[in-house]
Amino acid sequence: MFVRSLGVDDAELRPLDPWQAEEFFAHMERGREFIGEHIGFADKAKDLESARELLQSYADKAAADTGRIFGIWLGEKLVGGVLFRVMDIPQGRAEVGCWLEPAATGKGLITRASRILIDWAICERGVHRVEWQVSSENAPSIAVARRLGMSRDGVLRSYFLHHGVRQDLEVWSVLASEWES
């Protein structure tokens, strides 16, 4: 099994699979309000069945080489994760996403885990461009994009509706030629 240390507080990055749906759902319940403040990811795991379906959709993406999902564990507790929401290997493009429950914030876990994913995509898979898409209201996520050395490509104004409110979407990216492992 793939396990990567995140180098802090016994934190590990591991694949997140459908058989872990109960643990994933319990994690979503603990952090639903916080996670859902800026992204709709928590809304997709509203009960155990939909949590299992979400994880299965990423297992299917992994099998098709179009996406992947990984959990972040502190000790034996799932506290967040990172994913390739989109992977288009023929076009050399991937989009990284993330989420974290409140108790795990401020430790650099998302930055460390995202760095592992970006490094793998660029160095192992030959991806040319990795994107980070984020609501303009999500300052912590924008700070991660900056720490990862990404450049802000632009803002798509009033791009999506989240909990009844129109949001601007910022697109950040790093190119393979700019990435330092």
CATH (domain of 76): 3.40.630.30
- pTM beyond 0.75: the answer is yes
Model pLDDT for residues 134-161, shown as the tens digit of each residue: 999 999 999 999 999 999 999 999 999 9
Round to whole Å and give the CA distance between 111 and 6: 10
Tell me, what's the pLDDT at 181? 66
The span from the CA of 142 to the CA of 68, in Å, is: 22
Which 8-state DSSP code applies to residue 69?
E
Q: What percent of the chain has pLDDT over 90?
A: 90
Find the domain containing 135 and state its range. Answer: 4-178
Distance CA 76, CA 119 (A): 25
The pLDDT score that the predictor gives to residue 77 is 96
Tens of pLDDT, residues 47-82: 999 999 999 999 999 999 999 999 999 999 999 999
Mean of pLDDT over the chain: 95
Note the pLDDT of residue 9: 82
In the chain, the number of structural domains is 1
